[in-house]
A = this chain, B = another copy of it.
C-alpha cells in the first residue's frame, strides 16, 4: 500500500525572487489519497492567519508524490491557481527533492540551499 501524500504550507520571507523558509505547516491530506493531495480551506486560512501574526510571508507548498520529483499535470494546474508560490516536491519513490516555480507560465526549477547566516 502506498502512503498517503504528505502536504504542507511553507512560510518565511520572500525577497528578490528568493525565499527563506522559516516555518512548515503540515496539514492533513483532505483526500487521504496516495496520488493526490488537497488541504482543507479552513486549514489554509488558519495557517495564513498564524503566519501573518508571526510576520511571515507565504512562500510555497510542499507535497510528496509517488513519481519523479517534478510537477505532474495536476500539480501544474495547482501551480496556476497559487500564483508565484514555490512548489517543493518530494518523490516518495526515490527520495529526490526539488523546487519549482511558475514564471510567466513556464516551470522554472529552483535550488534548495542551506548556508551560514550572513547578517
Q: Interface centre among A12, A26, A114, by most B CB within 10 Å?
A: A114
**Tally of A interface residues using CB under 8 Å:** 34
Task: Report whether over half of chain A's contact residues are helix, strand or loop; otherwise say mixed.
Answer: strand
* Residues on the B chain within 8 Å of A17, using CB: 115-116
A-B contact pairs, 27 of them (CB 8 A): A12-B112, A18-B113, A19-B115, A20-B111, A20-B112, A20-B113, A21-B112, A21-B113, A22-B96, A22-B98, A23-B94, A23-B96, A24-B95, A26-B95, A60-B114, A88-B114, A101-B116, A108-B116, A110-B114, A110-B115, A111-B114, A111-B117, A112-B112, A112-B113, A112-B114, A113-B114, A113-B115
